[in-house]
Structure 1
């Protein structure tokens, strides 16, 4: 039973590999733009967009859309809730590894 409770501590929103990559990048950098994330993770526009939407709807990332000259730029940053969720996710994994 204890193993089941430990698995319940793993946040399914973050655990998916693309979303884990996004959150890891955002935690390390503080803020990343769409093109950086796309290149860093090696995913398509549509795939990345879908995962970013899940993170945004979960309240884990903040989206900022602006223009630099005439070029649109979309950046993402972890929210306080997203930071806490990521830290809890990492702590849960560390706890599982220690046992």
Structure 2
């Protein structure tokens, strides 16, 4: 993103990134076949925090991502790579539309 980028477009891109990461996180939770309460217990977070991270209303930080990876047994690097690839694909479509 350039420094002179349209603020509305920048907001849309951040929201898209947050949604993409949240979708990958939900996929990991689904693979683990756990409830949000079980996830919260495994990752050491409040259920409300887990809910906000999974629905994309809150961005996940590195510490939280690692807690999820350790608690659910997935590779955080692979999840980030997958999320990045999907984000860039969606971003390309978004840029074509604008």
Output the TM-score relative to the length of structure 1: 0.30
Output the TM-score relative to the length of structure 2: 0.30
Instruction: Give the strand-richer structure, 1 or 2.
Output: 1
Instruction: Give the helix-richer structure, 1 or 2.
Output: 2
